[in-house]
Structure 1
Amino acid sequence: MITSIIAIVLVLGGLIFFHELGHFVVARIFGMGVKAFSLGFGPKLAGFTSGQTDYKLSLIPLGGYVALAGEQGEDEPDFPDDKLFSNRPAWQRLCVVAAGPFFNFLLAFLIYWFLGLAQGQAVVLPLVGGVLPDSPAAEAGFVKDDLVTAIDGVPVDSWTQMVETIRAAEGKPLVVEIDRAGQVLTLTVTPKVNTYKNLFGENVTVPMVGINQAGQVRFEPIDGIGFAGALQNTWYMSKVVVKGFVSILERLIPVESVGGPIMLAQMVHQSAQSGFFDLLGMMALISINLAIINLLPIPVLDGGHILFFGLEIIFRRPLSDRWKAMSMRVGLLLLLLLMSLAIFNDVRRLLS
């Protein structure tokens, strides 16, 4: 239990700290004034001052923060005007804000890179973890723990290869060879072609048979230093997260599945129980989630500030304080509603 609590603190705190580190690094690159950079929140435990920046170790180890000079447009008598965040060009302010989510993507990439070097490339096995009711797979006779070994006579050794083969069939019947507890069986399944709208509102057709993966993997040696594989994993998981958000908006995934801090803590706890590498993999996934959530164009989030600075660059003048203040209030209300929904779902799951 103590180990899981430490893992939760290190993972969630580390992700937030790395996010703030992105803001700090880019602000310093541009020569902006930084009043404070803290590891943790709350009362200061230890620290030192270098130049005009107070570096602190604070009591509550759940993340950290960076305080930029002139961040809210206020006067800073201890800093020259040219070092104030609010006096810098909009494109520099945009880069500083965008650096937080970028560092979360970077952290996920570095984790996947390390996992590739330490374990090899993870390949998901074509093992059935579940069969959807009334689906083509259910009608064909698929059951949990069936291992797909070939489709139309072509050997299949990964879940990705199996999915690509099903999609390439475009709804035509497929002869699937499976291994069921050591017994070789042949099933015929006709994929159902589903149509949905992607992130850009375009209609996309996807043949599906109605099976879920079991999640079992094998590890293969990587080519070279694994840079490309880490990049592919980061991009793939980012697409999965974005697709999840879009599916919630389209009500393909129920809003009851949205989780908050309790759900995150449970996921980290379960990963910590499974081992160090699983914990790192979960950390990478949460880091990608954090990056994408922060990029949502909601005022008070990084994405909202990026939107403001982007509009300032386009129209060559800052947005009015009145409009920004009103947007911030609306964004804060929306964020509070989303947080309330997530926490409500967390509590409901605990009680049930």
Structure 2
Amino acid sequence: MIDNPGFLLTILAFMAVIGPLVFVHEMGHYLAGRWFGIGADAFSIGFGREIAGYTDKRGTRWKLGWLPLGGYVRFAGDMNPASQPTAEWLALPAAERERTFQAKPVWQRAIVVAAGPVVNFVVAIVILAGFAHFYGTRYAPPVVGAIVATSPAAKADLQPGDRLIALGGRSMESFADIAQYAMMRPGETIRIDVERAGRPLSTTLTIGTLEQRDRFGNEYRIGRVGIGSPPIEYRPVSLWRAPVEGTIQVFSIVRGSLDAIGQIITGRRSVDELGGPLRIAKVSGEQMSLGWPAFIGLVALVSINLGFINLLPVPMLDGGHLFFYAIEAVRRRPVDQRVQEWAFRGGLAALLALMLFVTLNDLGQFGLWRNLAGLIG
């Protein structure tokens, strides 16, 4: 185990991760709005009281808030959380009203809202494409290279040379797919579809559980099948192919996030694994101390998760707005303003509750509650 990074490095690393990613996310909204002729009253990085800013020639106030945990673009006419027309909006001159968010057709509003998460995914694709191009990719077929004695694979009577076609009904294209699938499912019993000497076979296997501790002392519970990899092939990636590889990796990470959410909902994964800004800050400092490649890889991962979370159909998030726009497109009229307002209030309450929960989780991971219990005891 090595020393954890200091407090100053952790804060700087956290700001270096969150600040640029929030900026590009909000810039996606802003540029899409500009494309459709929507005016912007404010572009803020951070919430709360303004600590610095300026107003450009278009009348947009660019500013920094004192709480650097997000940001927002306030478009012209955006006078309520549901972005619905109000009496104040109707009173605007026609020319000014035409430049407001509410005046645009639903498909343009949807593009403006979706642009933020899309830019986060694009950032991650560019980073991962760069890694693929400059470092190449590792590939091994989904074939059993060796069997660890007394492992789940040995108990399931797998044999060297078996080709794993599917785990739990999900097709396996590479050995990395097997490792990722098993890692996310410690203790689960799954069906395995195998090809042995050209013949299809099926069996069940209970994925083993391995407790690991990284060099910073963080503990993880992961799944292992107990098979060795066949020979690994290192493949160079051309510049034109690199974005495809980056996109494939982004989809793989998003699928892993969906798996994790499903496991938490069904109780197969502990809610203690949910982390918030404090844990992101801790990991940011750790990855920066390991060097720029590790840190930039973390930026890609956080960017993916920022885009993914914002697309969840929760009011107050981009996905919540898109959900209401989808209903509006089908019904050909907006959802009642009062319904949206109550939905957004509920969404805000849920997000605040989740933020409190993950913060308490983070503090527990840092050992605060154990230390307090020791002091009291």
How far off its partner does 1:152 sit? 4.7
Distance 1:106 1:317, change over 3 A: same
Whether contact under 8 Å (1:125, 1:218) holds in the other structure is no
1:170 to 186, 193, 200: 193
1:68 to 63, 75, 78: 75
State yes or no: 1:151 paired with 2:173: no
Normalised by the size of structure 2, how large is the TM-score?
0.70
State yes or no: 1:19 paired with 2:44: no
- Looking at structure 2, the residues matched to 23 and 115 of structure 1 have their Cα atoms a distance apart, in angstroms, of 27
- Looking at structure 2, the residues matched to 141 and 170 of structure 1 have their Cα atoms a distance apart, in angstroms, of 13
1:51 to 47, 50, 58: 58
Residues 19-77 of structure 1: CA deviation (Å, up to 9, x unaligned): 11111010001100111224455425353412232334566655543221111346465
How far off its partner does 1:102 sit? 0.9
Secondary structure in 2 matching 1:55: strand
Normalised by the size of structure 1, how large is the TM-score?
0.74
2:137 to 121, 128, 131: 121
* Residue identity matched to 2:341: A
Secondary structure in 2 matching 1:151: coil
State which drifts further: 295-304 or 74-83: 74-83
Aligned to 2:250: 234
Whether contact under 8 Å (1:117, 1:222) holds in the other structure is yes
Whether contact under 8 Å (1:68, 1:85) holds in the other structure is yes
Aligned to 1:180: none
* Residue identity matched to 1:265: A
State yes or no: 1:192 paired with 2:204: yes
State yes or no: 1:276 paired with 2:292: yes
- Looking at structure 2, the residues matched to 58 and 341 of structure 1 have their Cα atoms a distance apart, in angstroms, of 24
Residues 141-189 of structure 1: CA deviation (Å, up to 9, x unaligned): 99xxxxx9x63599xxx7337669x999626889xxxxxxxxxxxxxxx
- Looking at structure 2, the residues matched to 57 and 338 of structure 1 have their Cα atoms a distance apart, in angstroms, of 25
* Residue identity matched to 1:258: L
What does 1:82-121 correspond to in 2, within 5 Å?
82-121=98-137
Whether contact under 8 Å (2:126, 2:243) holds in the other structure is no
* Residue identity matched to 1:33: G
Distance 1:210 1:22, change over 3 A: same
- Looking at structure 2, the residues matched to 46 and 295 of structure 1 have their Cα atoms a distance apart, in angstroms, of 29
State which drifts further: 22-31 or 268-277: 268-277
- Looking at structure 2, the residues matched to 298 and 35 of structure 1 have their Cα atoms a distance apart, in angstroms, of 25
- Looking at structure 2, the residues matched to 161 and 35 of structure 1 have their Cα atoms a distance apart, in angstroms, of 46
Identity %: 31
How far off its partner does 1:3 sit? 3.5
State which drifts further: 110-119 or 239-248: 110-119
Distance 1:14 1:316, change over 3 A: same
How far off its partner does 1:125 sit? 11
* Residue identity matched to 2:75: L
Distance 1:212 1:68, change over 3 A: farther
Aligned to 1:223: 238
How far off its partner does 1:257 sit? 1.1
- Looking at structure 2, the residues matched to 319 and 161 of structure 1 have their Cα atoms a distance apart, in angstroms, of 42
